[in-house]
Amino acid sequence: MKCEKPENVRVSALTISSDRSDSGKTTISLGLMNALSKSVKVSPFKAGPDFIDPMYHKIATGGESVNLDLWLMGKKGVKRSFNKYSTNSNVSIIEGVMGFYDGMNGRYSTWELSQILNTPVILVIDCSKNSTTSSAVVTGLKKFKRNNIKGVIFNNVASDNHYRDCTRNLPEGVVPLGWIPHDSSLSVGSRHLGLLTPDIKSKEFVKAAGQIVSERIDLDRILDITNVEIPKENIDRKRSKKSGKAALALDNAFLFYYKENIEYLRGMFDLEFFSPLADDIVNDPSFIYLGGGYPEIFADKLEGNNKTKNWIRKEADKGTPILGECGGLMYLSSDLKTDKDHSMVGIFDVNISMSSKLTIGYTELKARQATLISNTGSKIKGHEFHKSKVDDINEKRVFTNLRGKGLGDGSDGVYYNNVLALYSHIMFPGLGKFIAQTNI
């Protein structure tokens, strides 16, 4: 039987990338999103597994940002999500990750993502310590592999003369789109897990970035660059009939969730959000989800909120499916040590303390037994990002780390009575098995 060629759909989209991290890519991406949102509807996307950049994207555009991660989602998953969330907007902007060609073992880079989605690429190049050499950097990126690089924005430029020097000898087909002057206020601050989560000053920062981009960048030319065609993917998934209610922790301690995971749950359950910081409970949940975040910052409050802790323990003993990722693992453990020891929910006999060492990277897990998200022998791809470590553990581990640190001993995941807690963050749509197949 002859396979029909997939129908193409025309969208306006672009990818923002750079030669490296810390080039101003995030600031300029936010500025472009915000500036264009004043006249057209913008759909924001983030390459890779980052949780915090999408929070800023929402401030810039007013819409939810979607992660596009080839390791976690695969080629089909990335295409499906991009189709799903880009077709109802005027322009889609994908903020890249690291340098253009950087990834894992030569794969999963912003370059590969832009090739799969056929998006034009605009580079952000930091000129703070060079001038004409910036064009040589662009030339190298352009010639390194077949790509869709169409334009360049120069950042941290001192003057019009400096900008002219930066644009000398740009490769054919790459146009200069403007420049941003050095401004120390146009920088997203950092904290111990990367960027600062948005606060009351973030709107002012994003507004300022949008204003300077509007003044100095050729937005009309950028919109001319963005028209592309991509294969139309089937975005309809067969969903189980809704079965009860999912309780999702959402506050300043638990706030790291992928939009696709929330939408996946929304297709299976009625969603109800709760706050462990407010000592909330949800009556009769069919599933409880505790995502990542900063429980260490709010350890005193979490320790004292016994109503939520007792409720979670009660649901665990009943066999209610519960998933805790990273910060959720820390909360479900028995003890969390910051400057002092804090008693947590205590479902698992695990003691965790904060560390000065950042654990970051992709993970791959092989299931030693069946769990909420796996059958025995299943392989699951994830991502870990934390500054904590396991000091003591008296629980059976349920995953072997084929890649990544996990609990620190080559394993990840502890399991009790339908409760799973692990360091890895995972994407639900790509799982072969999920909570729909458990006894709920």
* Catalytic positions: 326
Q: Check: CB of residue 63 under 8 Å from CB of residue 93.
A: no
- The token pair at 250 is 């959402």
Q: Check: CB of residue 352 under 8 Å from CB of residue 333.
A: yes
3-state secondary structure of 181: strand
Cβ burial of 184 (10 Å; 0-12, 13-18, 19+) is exposed
For 392, other C-beta atoms within 10 Å of its C-beta total 12
For 6, other C-beta atoms within 10 Å of its C-beta total 12
- The token pair at 405 is 């640190």
Q: How far is CA 141 from CA 20, 125, 136, 228, in A?
A: 11, 11, 9, 21
Q: How many residues does the chain have?
A: 440
Alpha-carbon distance 28 to 217, whole Å?
Answer: 10
Alpha-carbon distance 176 to 162, whole Å?
Answer: 13
Residue 139 DSSP code: H
Q: Are strands 322-325 and 411-416 parallel, antiparallel or unpaired?
A: unpaired
- The token pair at 231 is 């294969």
3-state secondary structure of 417: coil
Helix ranges (H only) for 226-368 are 259-268, 299-304, 306-318, 327-332
103 CB-near residues (< 8 Å, 6+ apart): 109, 110, 111, 112
For 280, other C-beta atoms within 10 Å of its C-beta total 18
3-state secondary structure of 4: coil
Alpha-carbon distance 323 to 217, whole Å?
Answer: 45
Residue 150 C-beta-side C-alpha neighbours within 13 Å: 18
